[in-house]
Amino acid sequence: MENRKIICISREYGSSGRIVGEKMAEKLGITCYDKKLLEKISKENGLAKEFVQESDEKPVNWFSMGFPMGIRNPYSLDFIDSLYYSINDDYFNMQAKTIRNIAKEGSCIIIGRAADVVLRDDPDMISIFIHARKEDRIKTIMARENVDRDRAEHMIRKKDKNRANYYNFYSSRRWGECATYDLSISTSTFTVDGAVDALLHLLG
């Protein structure tokens, strides 16, 4: 497809990476898939929206599978471990299939979900990492989520850890390291709008 662009954006929590992706998509006249991706995964695979949301960018856990907390499971630990990894892989494969189908439809922007790992063999895929200074991310989360500083820092640590663990599990590269991506840009240095303009200029 002529001038096809598949842009995969990974982002630190609180860096406004999603907003960068949405603004880029608007200027390019293409679709940005963030929550829309979760809706498609749910619909295409017959999964409950709650399950998909609970499993988003982190390993599936027993709670999201519907197991009561504190259950005494009669099966062996080896069986439980095998089941756990099997379900995680099944979900990742479902998600990967949806991502590939989206990319086949034409130019788009996909936020997170290890999309650049899934589409690593696509010649039209560009991977981008959005980051920001910690203090700026804390202020962003405090304002956006209406929480205090301690809570914002906790949310940032937890979200980034989940994203890194999820990405690193399915990739031979490392989440957040510059060599993993084609482009990396700071919204602290360039601002959100500046990052959008700079990335669009580089992408041509």
Q: What's the domain count of the chain? A: 1
Within a domain: residue 1?
Answer: no
C-alpha span between 204 and 184 (Å, rounded): 16
Residue 142: domain span: 6-203
Q: Which helix (H) or strand (E) holds 32?
A: strand 31-33
- Say yes or no to pLDDT of 20 above 70: yes
- Say yes or no to pLDDT of 81 above 60: no
- Say yes or no to pLDDT of 77 above 70: no
C-alpha span between 59 and 62 (Å, rounded): 10
Within a domain: residue 101?
Answer: yes
DSSP-based three-state secondary structure for 111:
strand
What CATH number is attached to the domain comprising 87?
Answer: 3.40.50.300
Within a domain: residue 135?
Answer: yes
- Tens-place pLDDT, residues 158-201: 999 999 998 998 899 999 999 999 999 999 999 999 999 999 99
| Percent of the chain clearing pLDDT 70 (strictly above) | 83
- Tens-place pLDDT, residues 154-165: 999 999 999 999
| Percent of the chain clearing pLDDT 90 (strictly above) | 66
Q: In this structure, are residues 40 and 102 in contact, taking their beta carbons and an 8 Å threshold? A: yes
Q: How far apart, in Å, are the Cα atoms of 110 and each of 53, 64, 100, 107, 198?
A: 16, 24, 11, 10, 18
